[in-house]
Structure 1
Amino acid sequence: MDSDEEALLLLLLLKRRRRRRRQKRTFWVHPILELREQHGQFHHLFMELRSDEEKFFNYFRMSKSSFDELYNILKSHIKREDTIMRRSIQPEERLAVTLRYLATGCTFMDLQYSFRIASTTIGKIVRDVCRNIWIHMKDMCMEQLTKDKWKDIINGFKKNAQFPNCLGAVDGKHIRIIQPAQSGSSYYNYKNYFSIILLAVCDSNHMFTFVDIGSYGRHADSTIFEESCLYKMLQEKKLNIPPPSAISQNGPLLPNVFIGDEAFSLQENLMRPYGGKNLPEKKKIFNYRLSRARRYIECTFGILANKWRIFHRPLNVNVDFAVDIVKSSCVLHNYVKQRDGNKFEDTFEGLPYSIIHSTQQVRPGGPMLTTIREEFANYFVSEEGKLDWQWNMI
């Protein structure tokens, strides 16, 4: 048998195999899924939920008014046209499926049987809606960082955390994922699981002001921060940050700073705690006061995860899809916080994230930077800046 005959025989075998595969498909749409409009969760339950505000909030993690506003913003972007073969899934149902996926952490297969929509279709719906939430709502829910906005943030931290000249609390969190194909150890972190990193900055109202999502799990906070667009704009003086100001009467002018943990390096606009053990009292007080302000980012992550329970398990999707999920969840966090506030149960449970610690020694900065930190420390132990109970906490 020559090569042409072998090729022809192989082609015939492939055609026969494809024909057999086609013959195995008994249904165009499975009978269970055909009953979506009669028994699907959206058609069967949605109107009943609308009659009870508390149950609606529990189901969708937002109030009816917030859902309706969100729907009106997104409906033209997530609507799909009917075809000769079938009717499209309406945008309200597409939004409901996505919110339920984020709120419960159910798999696409679980949602298939409750909403009577094929799991592959649900995956496409969720990704499409998440992308549109980020594209069309990011600027609305994460306000542009103007000079007035910075002043509001600074005043908020001074009032709520008693930390002056603070631009926000910054930290990074591991988002657990299933190992991506052919990724090697890039996403494998020091906690011995696979993750992408959410680097975020928040204000004293537990609102995200900046997020950077998708870095490898093995990377350190300082590396991610210094590669972010926020850091680049900070270095290029493009963030409209207010000029340095005194934090005490007749004191020196001090820069406005972000605050982070020991994983970050000390920089002109980034403050970190003193390192080492057996510190003198003044340094311990400084570390405690900085920690009080830095807690806001930890609490923000906790609220995010306890509202959107998708983060209580590893994300079993590809990395790009996982990034879309995290982006949309951060936007929805701000959106719901602005309109509905916090529910007690959103803040009650422990954090499912892992705190990132630096695995390398970070240089503490030059003399000028350590002097700036020393001025903050002096203020916190002065009569003007002390808290009466702070010595009880060290």
Structure 2
Amino acid sequence: MADNNEIILCLIPFLLDQLDDDDDDDFTLPTKALMLDHRARRTRMKTQHFFETTVPLFLPDTFRRFFRVSRGTAEILYQHLGQCRELRKREFRGGREENQTEKKILMTLRYLASQENTMEISDRFGLTEYTFLKHKNLVIKCIINNLLSKFIKWPSVTEMDMIATNFNDMGVHEFPGIIGAIDGSHIQIEPPSENPQSYYNRKRFHSIILQGKCKDDMQFIHTNIGWPGRVHDAKVLKNSHVWESGYQKCEYGRFHLLGDAAYPLRVWLLTPYRDTGHLTRQQTYFNKCLSS
């Protein structure tokens, strides 16, 4: 015999009209709860034509705030990801037309740029949650497999000379041979179910660490992502392959990275003198120059 709840679910469309009547006391509380939940699901409305009509009207600043990239950067993503076989639009042979590649990319950017959940984003772009999740995962996979090594890469020796010149021209003080600056950033996350305390950082929220090395134009040349927020910056560096190959990557001492006091001093990594209260005037001046 079918379960009572299954019977109720079948009858809900007919019972909903009776829920607002004065004599709805005939329904039990669980029955009312199931009916109200079904009503909420039934009345859920998706935004119509947001991608097709609203997004094209965004001003440049609005577009950047909403997707956290400029239109120009989005266009570059369209061009590069549009060449990925997994994202190419198949030939239309009837039925429901496939979503545009640009739409898949923009809703993925919105997911990465906001705190909206999957239901909110899928409704905004007029899709089911399943379809949104499928496209989002595919876009991220294509970015990692096709764009990561193309855009985040260590500079060549020729490029290092140019970067070092640009770095040296940026400040008042001369620091020749600098090809990048290293630092960490905490990416806020929901507390994981396992070992949440390991992700609770000194800024008092749960995070994973993104440790990046950037050149003078703020483009990444290397990243190390995923360490729990409680881990010290120096430990993150020591567990990256740059720690072992930094001297070689920086042309055996010819070039250097700049880091703050959280990092250890190396031939290829310049850091401030540790202030133990006994710094000389020259050491204090060096620290001031380094930080400016």
- Which bracket does the TM-score occupy, shorter chain normalised? 0.7 to 0.9
Q: Name 1:127's counterpart in structure 2.
A: 137
* Pairing 1:173–2:182 present: no
**1:322-361 correspondence runs (5 A):** none
Q: Distance in 1 between matches of 2:199 and 2:187?
A: 10
Q: Percent identity?
A: 25
Q: Give unpaired runs (5+ residues) of structure 1.
A: 1-11, 245-254, 293-394
Residue identity matched to 2:244: K
Q: Distance in 2 between matches of 1:21 and 1:121?
A: 29
Q: Name 2:149's counterpart in structure 1.
A: 139
Aligned counterpart in structure 2 of residue 218 of structure 1, from 221, 230, 233: 230
- Counterpart contact for 1:169–1:201, Cα < 8 Å: yes
Provide the alpha-carbon RMSD of the alignment: 3.5
Q: Distance in 1 between matches of 2:204 and 2:61?
A: 40
1:68–1:181 Cα change, 3 Å = same
Q: Distance in 2 between matches of 1:122 and 1:21?
A: 31
Further displaced range: 264-273 or 84-93: 84-93
Aligned counterpart in structure 2 of residue 156 of structure 1, from 149, 163, 166: 166
SS at match of 1:175: strand
User: Deviation at 1:212?
Assistant: 0.4
User: Deviation at 1:230?
Assistant: 1.7
Larger RCO (CA within 8 A; separation ≥ 6): 1
SS at match of 2:198: coil
* Pairing 1:89–2:99 present: yes
Residue identity matched to 2:267: E
Q: Distance in 2 between matches of 1:173 and 1:59?
A: 21
* Pairing 1:44–2:43 present: no
Q: How many residues are matched? A: 260
Q: Distance in 1 between matches of 2:108 and 2:239?
A: 31
Aligned counterpart in structure 2 of residue 183 of structure 1, from 163, 180, 195: 195
- Counterpart contact for 1:108–1:120, Cα < 8 Å: no
TM, length-normalised to structure 2: 0.74
SS at match of 2:185: strand
1:269–1:57 Cα change, 3 Å = closer
Q: Name 2:22's counterpart in structure 1.
A: none
Q: Name 1:272's counterpart in structure 2.
A: 271
Further displaced range: 204-213 or 74-83: 74-83
Residue identity matched to 2:288: Y
Q: Name 2:116's counterpart in structure 1.
A: 106
SS at match of 2:265: coil
* Pairing 1:262–2:261 present: yes
Q: Distance in 1 between matches of 2:125 and 2:114?
A: 14
Residue identity matched to 2:270: M
- Counterpart contact for 1:156–1:203, Cα < 8 Å: no
Structure number, greater radius of gyration: 2
SS at match of 2:209: strand
Residue identity matched to 1:40: H
SS at match of 2:181: strand
- Counterpart contact for 2:89–2:100, Cα < 8 Å: yes
- Counterpart contact for 1:150–1:242, Cα < 8 Å: no
* Pairing 1:72–2:54 present: no
User: Deviation at 1:263?
Assistant: 1.3
Q: Distance in 1 between matches of 2:8 and 2:134?
A: 24
- Counterpart contact for 2:153–2:222, Cα < 8 Å: no
User: Deviation at 1:120?
Assistant: 4.8
Q: Distance in 2 between matches of 1:262 and 1:21?
A: 66
SS at match of 1:201: strand
